Structure 1
Amino acid sequence: MTLLFTIVFILFSFASSLYAHKGDLGHYVVRAQPLGEIPPPNIDGVLTDAAWQKALPVSGFVWKDTPDKPASEETVVYIVYDRHHLYVGFRCYDSEPHKIVNRITRRGGDVFYSDVISFFIDPYHDHRTGYKFVSTPGGVKDDNYRYNDSEVDFTWEGIWWVEANIDSEGWMAEFKIPFSNFRFSDAKKQVWGINFERFIRRKRETDTWKPPGDHGGFWTRMSALGHLVGIEDIQSGKQVEIYPHIIGGGTESEETHISGQSDIGLDFQYRLTNKLRVSGTVNPDFAQVEGDQLEINLTRFPIRFPEKRPFFIQGNSVFATPLELYYSRRIGSRGDILWGTNATGKIGNYTLGIISSRTGNWDYFGLQKETTARETAGFTVVRAKRDLFEKSNVGILYAGKELAEENSRVIGLDTSIARGENLILTGQIAQSWNTGDGQLPRAYLLTITRGTDLFNAEISMERIEAEFSVNQTGFIQKEAHRGWQHVGTQLEYTPRLAVLGHEKFVIGTGSRLSQGLYTAPYFSDWKRQHPNLQINPRFDPDLLLLSNSVWSRVKFRELFLERVDFIFNYAREAELTEVFWTREAKLMFRTDTAKRFSTTLQIGMGNFYNFAQKYIGEQRSFDIQSTLRPKNNLTLELMLAVAQTSTPVGEIDGEFISNSVRVTYLLTRDFFFRLSTQAFWGQTHYSKKETNLRYLISGLIGWEYSPKSHFFLAYNESRGTLTRSPRLENRVIVAKVSYLWNL
């Protein structure tokens, strides 16, 4: 522990002497024009306002993946601003406007089923963080937050407006973005990073204003943006946002009759400065959050599901580390969330974040609770990260869960060091301590990656000590009293082939040498749980294990088949009862997602270790996901997953089916209806035949009647059983109204 804090002190103390920043803005510079006395543009998707006449046009787009090739269609961008808002206009010319792809989806849906324009902004001008704003020809919007140069936080959601319009020359879009969305310096004259992109769906062509540089890659890097100048004397706007909500409805379960209830709650956000915000919640409700997908899981570890709750997705990227020491879904998994606070921001070269939350027994009904137990616990997460050089950083994170008589805590130090455009070193050291532990176990991670448009290479080293435990606050797929250490390499060759329309053809290979780490309790616990089993004489705790993988990916630009993936794994593994070789092959096909009907098909087969039976069996899987869009505002999604397992002699011992149907209909971009059904059937033939049935039905009507102000009417029903007649577990119908109040 002393060593860890010593390293933190040294790195943070000397960080300021390491920081450097280039002052040259380069050739890609855009000047935003102040509106002054000119009225701001009316956001209607038509670029006829006098404000746009003052803007300096930006053009000269090129293909993103082949920068020496001019874009096939011309794009022109205009930028103006007033004291509180940034206005961006796009004119997207199209030689075949009747072929523009324009699907209507919810905000945050997959807008890339349509034509798309987008722009990136780095208001803090640190060349590592920023925002992306997106619109389709139908005015469907999306946004996200960028951090660590190229990583993406898709959960960020700002308040802004966009309208778009298709005409005989192509299409146009107008954006109005309040400066209150951004974190920027207090300087009178601002210099921001900026870039623009356009995606022409039918051509699968991505055009960009500023080429990505030698590093290439799919994600736009904040360090590779152009520059926006001319912005002066701006204000961030409103300082306080309050979101009260009211809910009411009824619930029924197997143990209780129908009962009606109502409740209130409150969320708030306070902007301390342009760069630092505090948010909080009291008695939050997540009635509108869709339930997790029922999935087939043949491993011993739980599935990691994404965070969907609005309060906890705010600023989540601040707390991201290479090893997931903080996993927000741990908060509230065993008890009602009474309250929570969250502060994130940037002060100078420091990124800061604090989360505090309390769970317990709040007497109100909730949706899809996994257990009736309501744990009283306090959660605290603290994060600090210091920028180094131009694109590097060092950070520290603490996460703790406090119960009445026990606790679980972890602290970690992480760093990302970038050299030039293509070389990145990522490292982390972490230490956990829990009530009853007689030691302070650690975890170590080091990864070195080098990527260009033609090659990607990686070397990684990891050591997770046997008693390292973070799953009260974080997420690592790990057994108690068992760890591992390994060293691995990966190499990819990614040429762009003319025959594929200059799309990448990827072929890669990887190898890993690993060793298990065990403590005495692991063996004693295993013997107590399995008294009739013997440890395999070939098992050795010091055994070295080798795994190898090869993979390939092909993307097509103008064919009905959009993508094909293949992967093959061959590995030596060790469990107490077996030392064995595994093999697994997967093949995936995806058709053109621009079409009204598209599908993704995946087939897999291989052998695996059956943890329930402690023997090596075979597995076969088939997954298909299809999407049908009979109308631009109607989407039907179908998913079917089938898996079958068998014994070493080929007898079937497990059959599993998971399927879902989801229908989404949008009356407008802000008013939608969604109905989804999920079913899971699993049957095992071990010592006796057992059947597991699960059903989920959910319906949701949603209306965003003003920015971040919503009405939801939700229905959820779950049924499950180990027999043929699924019994009711929970049924809830609830209405919720929330309103954004700016002060």
Structure 2
Amino acid sequence: MLLRLFFFLFILLIGLSSAVAQPEKYSLSSDSTVNRLAGAHKVYYATRIEKRPKIDGRLNDVCWETGIWSGGFIQQVPNQGKKPSQDTEIKLLFDNSNLYVGFKCYDKGPGKIRPILSRRDKMAGDIAGIAIDSYHDKQTAYEFNVAASGQKVDLVHLGAYLWDFNWDAVWDGKAQVYDSIWTSEIQIPFSQIRFSPGKEQVWGMHVWRWIDRLSEEDQWKLIPIDAPSMVYLFGELRGIEGIKPKVNYEFLPYVNSRFSPNTDLKNKMSYGYGLNGKVGLNSGFTLDYAINPDFGQVEADPAVLNLTSYEIFNEEKRPFFLEGNTILDFSFGEDMLYYSRRIGHAPSYFPGLDDNQTMNISENTPILSALKLTGKTKNGLSVGVLQSFTAKENAIIYTNDSKSKMAIEPFTSFIVGRIKQDFDKGNTVVGGMVTSTYRNINDTHLEFLSNSSLAGGIDFQHNWKKRKYFIDFKGFFTEIRGDEKSISKLQYSPVHNYQRIDAGHLEYDTLKSSLSGWGGSLQGGKRSGKLRIIGSLNWRTPGVDLNDVGYLAQADVIKQMVNVTYKVSQPKGIIQSYFVEFEQEHNWNYGNETTLDRFKIHGFTQFKNLWNVHLNLKGYINYFDTRELSGNPNIFLGPNLLFSGPKLFKDDCFRDVELFVQTNQAKDLFIGVGPRLRYIEDQISKSSSFTAFIRWQISDRFSISSRTVFDHSIDNHEYIKNTRYLVGKIDRNTISSTFRLEYFVSPEISLQYYGNPYASIGKFDDFREVADADNKSLALRYNKLEKTLMANNTYILENDEPTKYTIRNPDFNYQKFNSNLVGRWEFKPGSTFYLVWTNSRFANAGVLDQSIWKSFVNIPNVKSQNVFMVKFSYWFSL
């Protein structure tokens, strides 16, 4: 209760301090030179041309003789406010259709320019770019960058140092490297950015250059390192007149072919075709559409063996859902109202088969069509609407020479709507969102799925004192309706756990036909300067659920958090920069049970040689897991850090320590290594891991990188699946590795390999029955069970009482491998040809007969599944 009171007092103090702090003048930095440069009003006037340049990076077209080259760049890092080590100049031209940007990046070190080729949207080597706030809303911007190698990087600024690198526009850019200068040329079609109609355009503009070998960033108009966000400090771009918004049609048809030689089915070859596209309704709004879309991912999700009760969150990688996704964002902490990977997810039902049956089942539910309207008006109103239909999906079951169908996913409709209004140059934003899911369920065996769901939310954000202080509120509700089976299943899920026998505030009702709830988040504080303080409160009632078209990890939880950070960015002695972060978190549920008290200290230091060190110290005083026993009693997992009796930071009290050291990333050989150790107060549970990362830039075109994690853990409280009251001690070893090999013929032609081998073995012992789940004494919390291993690989567990349990041996030897070899050719902007080989392997043996190392190196002996794919897509516009 004291911690909760402290949180609300903290929010009140933040409000009072912001009201009285610096009433007349606000300083972005303690350095007056930095304040002067950041506060300067810098404007560039673009020049109209009649004949467009050839985009080759040479800047030798006649049009580049007109207009003004602008220099005067300022160093941001490492020496903020100082003159750059190298000079840079920029020029902007335009015609009715495009904006043209030219860069001259001088370099006094012949042969030291780093033209590193890499994947699109990956920053590598020397690079220069421009960001355009075309709405001039001081919040969002489109950024276009070209590396010295000619590689393109585009992204969207989301505000407060958040970026979306998944946004891919259709534009052109080239570069040329000479002895003491490299130049680049960029062509940005006006159809690819959104702006309000008007006689003259006034846009925000940010121009920057990165000198890789020096880790130096130079900026046309300085944005201080400790500024709370970037876009509101942009300079201005003027002079663009007479460009008229028009309806623009873009088409991206595709065809593909897929060959699966290892499948048991007769038809090993499949084909696909479809159309993605967009209509630029005007300069502010775009309609994206997809007919029989190809939502394949070139790179598979990471391999992982999930032994927790929580769903794994995977990032979106499908092109249609990435376009304009920022407008549809409504996230709060780890949860979100709209999670696009729900659309086209894996089928929900998996039929059981007899010994004489085989089955053809789709990995994903096919998407019939999808429409998305997104945009923003000149008055600051953002609108986003998405409608998608997924087909009823059937599994084909083969029995000897006959075949039959069984429904595994019903026809489903998804609707998402989002609206936001900006006020006061983006300092205040008010918005709302509504989502809806409807399933047409006609099969009895699919009645475990809900029929419909509705969710809605409102959000409010306000910034003041030049965005030094902020407050952010989000509130939402959900309602799900369906058959009694579906609502019972929902109550029983790990998200809710209504069946918990020790939760007096929860009631598991098998007759319910609906489930509803609400939640929200409140965050505020000071987010710039050396000292930064942010407090937050998140809450989810027991009945709230977002998982039809959103993402919710856990209901019935209230989380309070305070974060204090001290950050210094000015070099001194051997130190380039450093920060120290302290974080406190307190969680409880709607039954007023404390479930977590956590503290964290995080330190980071970067040295003048550009090596850096991370140190993390974390711990939990009270940790009651309401999900560990899958709906059975709350179980006490004990304190495992920081406090021992009344003393704080006693030397032997740290139980979770993580250290990570990295070398200079600008070098051809880059290495990062570090251990992590964790100990629990029960003197039994513990874990240790070691992470190693290496990247070798063999040449400007060829690189190899790998990240490997070795983990050993002992958990004395591992829940035995499919039982009600049993836990065991698990001794688990895991090796997980990712490996990348990249070779580039040019920025447009590449060969890339991605491999992810994963092995995990677990041995269970010391089986126990839960007696008093929340007792802090280990001896009183459990009753020990004697085990007998039977010939059929099952255990008989019993104690002095007449109770006896029979369980399958829970030991496991889990092996998984995903890999892709991708040849890619972008033969014209937006048009690509792919050649892909996918190899996957999976095994899960219940008997441990080898070490973790043998399990890992034997992954190549596991039966493989190979898929060969060819895809051709062609972009054009009208």
Q: TM-score range by the shorter chain?
A: 0.7 to 0.9
Which residue number corresponds to residue 403 of structure 2?
none
**Does 2:726 match 1:712?**
no
The separation in 1 between residues aligned to 2:141 and 2:872, in whole angstroms, is: 32
The separation in 2 between residues aligned to 1:307 and 1:602, in whole angstroms, is: 29
CA shift in 2, pair 1:328/1:228, >3 Å = same
Residue from 350, 353, 374 that aligns with 1:344 = 374
SS of 2:182's partner is strand
The separation in 2 between residues aligned to 1:276 and 1:412, in whole angstroms, is: 23
CA shift in 2, pair 1:628/1:609, >3 Å = farther
Which residue number corresponds to residue 733 of structure 1?
868
Which residue number corresponds to residue 812 of structure 2?
690
Which residue number corresponds to residue 508 of structure 1?
581
CA shift in 2, pair 1:707/1:363, >3 Å = farther
Work out whether residues 261 and 364 of structure 1, in 8 Å CA contact, stay in contact via their aligned partners in 2.
no
Which residue number corresponds to residue 703 of structure 1?
825
For 1:361-510, list aligned pairs within 5 A: 361=392, 373-391=408-426, 392-405=428-441, 406-419=451-464, 420-435=466-481, 436=487, 440-478=516-554, 482-499=555-572, 503-510=576-583
SS of 2:320's partner is helix
Greater relative contact order: 1 or 2 (C-alpha under 8 angstroms, separation 6 or more)? Answer: 1
Work out whether residues 436 and 454 of structure 2, in 8 Å CA contact, stay in contact via their aligned partners in 1.
yes
For 1:604-619, list aligned pairs within 5 A: 604-607=676-679, 617-619=685-687
Which residue number corresponds to residue 693 of structure 2?
625
Residue from 595, 598, 601 that aligns with 2:667 = 595
CA shift in 2, pair 1:236/1:673, >3 Å = farther
The separation in 1 between residues aligned to 2:457 and 2:658, in whole angstroms, is: 36
Work out whether residues 287 and 734 of structure 1, in 8 Å CA contact, stay in contact via their aligned partners in 2.
no
SS of 1:311's partner is helix
Work out whether residues 730 and 764 of structure 2, in 8 Å CA contact, stay in contact via their aligned partners in 1.
no
- Residue by residue, what CA displacement relative to the aligned partner does 1:279-334 show, whole Å, maximum 9, x if unpaired? 11122224452111224656432332211111111111111123211111111112
**Does 2:619 match 1:570?**
yes
CA shift in 2, pair 1:579/1:643, >3 Å = closer
What TM-score do you get using the length of structure 2 for normalisation? 0.73
* Residue type of the alignment partner of 1:421: R
- Residue by residue, what CA displacement relative to the aligned partner does 1:528-547 show, whole Å, maximum 9, x if unpaired? xxxxxxxxxxxxx5337422
Work out whether residues 480 and 515 of structure 2, in 8 Å CA contact, stay in contact via their aligned partners in 1.
no
* Residue type of the alignment partner of 1:376: F
Q: Deviation of residue 409 (structure 1)?
A: 2.4
The separation in 2 between residues aligned to 1:98 and 1:164, in whole angstroms, is: 16
The separation in 2 between residues aligned to 1:55 and 1:43, in whole angstroms, is: 17
CA shift in 2, pair 1:351/1:462, >3 Å = same
The separation in 2 between residues aligned to 1:90 and 1:542, in whole angstroms, is: 60
Residue from 270, 285, 288 that aligns with 1:279 = 288
For 1:301-312, list aligned pairs within 5 A: 301-312=310-321
Q: Deviation of residue 257 (structure 1)?
A: 4.7
- Residue by residue, what CA displacement relative to the aligned partner does 1:376-407 show, whole Å, maximum 9, x if unpaired? 32111111111122222111111222112512
Work out whether residues 263 and 364 of structure 1, in 8 Å CA contact, stay in contact via their aligned partners in 2.
no
Which residue number corresponds to residue 233 of structure 1?
242
Give the length in aligned residue pairs.
677
SS of 1:668's partner is coil
Residue from 153, 157, 167 that aligns with 2:168 = 157
Work out whether residues 246 and 280 of structure 2, in 8 Å CA contact, stay in contact via their aligned partners in 1.
no
CA shift in 2, pair 1:358/1:388, >3 Å = same
Which residue number corresponds to residue 639 of structure 1?
707
Work out whether residues 644 and 652 of structure 1, in 8 Å CA contact, stay in contact via their aligned partners in 2.
no
For 1:15-26, list aligned pairs within 5 A: none
The separation in 1 between residues aligned to 2:307 and 2:839, in whole angstroms, is: 26
Rg larger for: 2
What TM-score do you get using the length of structure 1 for normalisation? 0.86
Q: Deviation of residue 354 (structure 1)?
A: 0.9
CA shift in 2, pair 1:670/1:640, >3 Å = same
The separation in 1 between residues aligned to 2:275 and 2:104, in whole angstroms, is: 41
The separation in 1 between residues aligned to 2:872 and 2:263, in whole angstroms, is: 28
The separation in 1 between residues aligned to 2:388 and 2:172, in whole angstroms, is: 33
Instruction: List gaps (5 residues or longer) in structure 1.
Output: 1-24, 366-370, 519-540
Which residue number corresponds to residue 528 of structure 1?
none
- Residue by residue, what CA displacement relative to the aligned partner does 1:3-36 show, whole Å, maximum 9, x if unpaired? xxxxxxxxxxxxxxxxxxxxxx96201111112x
Moved more, 55-64 or 256-265: 256-265
Q: Deviation of residue 552 (structure 1)?
A: 0.4
Q: Deviation of residue 486 (structure 1)?
A: 2.5
Alignment root-mean-square deviation, CA: 2.7
Work out whether residues 253 and 728 of structure 1, in 8 Å CA contact, stay in contact via their aligned partners in 2.
no
Work out whether residues 393 and 411 of structure 2, in 8 Å CA contact, stay in contact via their aligned partners in 1.
no
Work out whether residues 586 and 603 of structure 1, in 8 Å CA contact, stay in contact via their aligned partners in 2.
yes
The separation in 2 between residues aligned to 1:364 and 1:734, in whole angstroms, is: 23
Residue from 309, 313, 316 that aligns with 2:325 = 316
* Residue type of the alignment partner of 1:735: V
- Residue by residue, what CA displacement relative to the aligned partner does 1:495-545 show, whole Å, maximum 9, x if unpaired? 134336773210111112221235xxxxxxxxxxxxxxxxxxxxxx53374
Q: Deviation of residue 166 (structure 1)?
A: 1.5
**Identical residues among aligned pairs (%):** 24
SS of 1:51's partner is helix
The separation in 1 between residues aligned to 2:341 and 2:689, in whole angstroms, is: 29
Which residue number corresponds to residue 721 of structure 2?
none
CA shift in 2, pair 1:483/1:641, >3 Å = same
For 1:546-557, list aligned pairs within 5 A: 546-557=597-608
Which residue number corresponds to residue 667 of structure 1?
745
SS of 2:640's partner is strand
Work out whether residues 244 and 740 of structure 1, in 8 Å CA contact, stay in contact via their aligned partners in 2.
yes
Q: Deviation of residue 646 (structure 1)?
A: 1.2
Q: Deviation of residue 192 (structure 1)?
A: 0.8
Work out whether residues 743 and 752 of structure 2, in 8 Å CA contact, stay in contact via their aligned partners in 1.
yes
The separation in 1 between residues aligned to 2:199 and 2:681, in whole angstroms, is: 63
Instruction: List gaps (5 residues or longer) in structure 2.
Output: 1-38, 347-364, 397-405, 442-450, 482-486, 488-512, 626-633, 642-655, 718-727, 766-808, 846-854
The separation in 1 between residues aligned to 2:433 and 2:93, in whole angstroms, is: 40
Moved more, 619-628 or 74-83: 619-628
Work out whether residues 254 and 727 of structure 1, in 8 Å CA contact, stay in contact via their aligned partners in 2.
no
**Does 2:72 match 1:60?**
yes
Q: Deviation of residue 551 (structure 1)?
A: 0.8
CA shift in 2, pair 1:442/1:607, >3 Å = farther
Work out whether residues 204 and 558 of structure 1, in 8 Å CA contact, stay in contact via their aligned partners in 2.
no
CA shift in 2, pair 1:707/1:213, >3 Å = same
Work out whether residues 136 and 203 of structure 2, in 8 Å CA contact, stay in contact via their aligned partners in 1.
yes
Q: Deviation of residue 426 (structure 1)?
A: 1.1
Which residue number corresponds to residue 95 of structure 2?
82
Moved more, 293-302 or 677-686: 293-302
CA shift in 2, pair 1:409/1:461, >3 Å = same
CA shift in 2, pair 1:497/1:268, >3 Å = closer
The separation in 2 between residues aligned to 1:716 and 1:214, in whole angstroms, is: 43
Work out whether residues 84 and 237 of structure 1, in 8 Å CA contact, stay in contact via their aligned partners in 2.
no
Work out whether residues 410 and 440 of structure 2, in 8 Å CA contact, stay in contact via their aligned partners in 1.
no
The separation in 1 between residues aligned to 2:223 and 2:734, in whole angstroms, is: 45
The separation in 2 between residues aligned to 1:327 and 1:147, in whole angstroms, is: 18
Moved more, 113-122 or 598-607: 598-607
Q: Deviation of residue 651 (structure 1)?
A: 7.7
Which residue number corresponds to residue 678 of structure 1?
756
* Residue type of the alignment partner of 1:590: Q
Which residue number corresponds to residue 93 of structure 1?
106
